[in-house]
Amino acid sequence: MQISHSQLANMEQRFRATLINSIPGYKCLQMVGTSNRDGISNIGLFNSIFHLGANPALLGMVFRPLTPEHDTFNNIMETGHYTFNNVLPWFYKPAHQTSASYPSEESEFAICGFNKQYLSEFKAPFVQESNIKIGLEFRECIDVSINNTKILIGEVVHILLDEHILGDDGYIDHTKAETVTVVGLDSYFTTQPLERLPYAKTNEKLNKQITQHKV
Amino acid sequence: MQISHSQLANMEQRFRATLINSIPGYKCLQMVGTSNRDGISNIGLFNSIFHLGANPALLGMVFRPLTPEHDTFNNIMETGHYTFNNVLPWFYKPAHQTSASYPSEESEFAICGFNKQYLSEFKAPFVQESNIKIGLEFRECIDVSINNTKILIGEVVHILLDEHILGDDGYIDHTKAETVTVVGLDSYFTTQPLERLPYAKTNEKLNKQITQHKV
């Protein structure tokens, strides 16, 4: 079936939101830990997170048009620090629950049953229950005028993880970690490895590749 | 274990690239179809793709610092059109092979064994073998000065998919589609559904959520 631009424009709003949020496929799911300058902590659930570069190590994330009480954004602006914490199968339900709109003075850590973990001189809390944790320092905020979103860029300044998850070549084994992925805003998945492939070169294994292709 | 900012800065370059590319977890994997103004087609493999908004329907993607011969970027600038095409388990190997650096005058469609599919008045080819295909029109290019990358924003103007993949509420069923996801640049995965959860509200099911949390 084919859906045209004008059909998209005329769709019922929630149908379109569900369609467009789910159509690109699996996303990077992170609980984002922050704290305001009074020490009230927050967890926000984000899936619009992307790799921007490895040197310096930069990750981007998208904020929808902001309401004044957007705690995660305000806290990052106040302290300059935030954390990404992966979601595991045994706590995807309370992780999802952190996406509810709790008042700023209440902490999703306490409400949803997560424990805070701090590093010295780093103002944002990590989620103790996660096994891959990234500490980021705010670098840049880009205003996207086309739809009033913001793209926030941070640099990785801390990594906390179980040692057996890190491979000899730097590869993080999310199968061992049991990291959960998401489609749209609400559909959670575990994964099964197909294969890790070597760097693709133009001059080799071409026939082999094509013969495995069974249109 | 803990990895500090200075350890990251002093890492062997490929180790750090593998680490930072893999640490955020599962990503949206798409074969990006384009054509230049002479009709030479191209497939580029991308995983830095993110949801930017549903109305208008906008998706973002990251380009690393560009070499002059970056076909995907140049073709989008020339024609204004590009396509996202999901990767399926039976062709993840030739899909990976499209990431090799073929010369501009050679098409990854022909070399890697994919078939082109065109819509009238839309200049970019879709990958026929995919079962979820998105046609995009270029809207904006943001230069990210901090590391000379570019964030390209496009609007969804066509969707092609098998009808049984689209749910009654707009949800795209990537389990039925068998969409493949990726970690880093080279590690491919299938998925298994955990659960699709209802919209999280502050006033309900809280105790139930917390008791399922077994620290």
| DSSP string across B117-166 | E--TT--SPEETT-SEEEEEEEEEEEEETTTTEEEEEEEEEEEEE-GGGB
pLDDT tens digits, residue range B107-150? Answer: 999 999 999 999 999 999 999 999 999 999 999 999 999 999 99
Within an 8 Å CB–CB cutoff, is residue A64 touching chain B?
Answer: yes
Q: Which of B1, B48, B142 sits opposite A161 (nearest CB)?
A: B1
**How far apart (Å, rounded) are the C-alpha atoms in residues B74 and B36?**
8
Distance CA A38, CA B162 (A): 52
- pLDDT tens over chain B, length 215 residues: 999 999 999 999 999 999 999 999 999 999 999 999 999 999 999 999 999 999 999 999 999 988 777 999 999 999 999 999 999 999 999 999 999 999 999 999 999 999 999 999 999 999 999 999 999 999 999 999 999 999 999 999 999 999 999 999 999 999 999 999 999 999 999 999 999 999 999 975 555 454 444 44
On the question of pLDDT at A169 being above 80, the answer is yes
Interacting residues of B67 by C-beta distance below 8 A, sequence separation 6+: none
Contacts of A91 in chain B (CB under 8 A): 212-213
Contacts of A197 in chain B (CB under 8 A): 92-93, 96, 186-188
Give the integer Cα–Cα distance in Å for B57 and A7.
12
Convert the pLDDT of each residue in A55-83 to its tens digit: 999 999 999 988 777 999 999 999 999 99
The residue among B58, B169, B158 whose CA lies nearest residue A3 is B158
* Structure confidence at residue A183 (pLDDT): 98
Core vs surface per residue B40-76: b (16+ CB within 10 A) or e: ebbbbbbbbbbbbbbebbbbbbbbbeeeeebbbbbbb
| Paired residues of B44 in beta bridges | B32
Closest CA to A40 of A98, A87, A109, A127: A109
Q: Which residue of B has its CA nearest to A26?
A: B28
The pLDDT value recorded for residue B207 is 52
Min Cα–Cα distance to chain B from A66, Å:
13
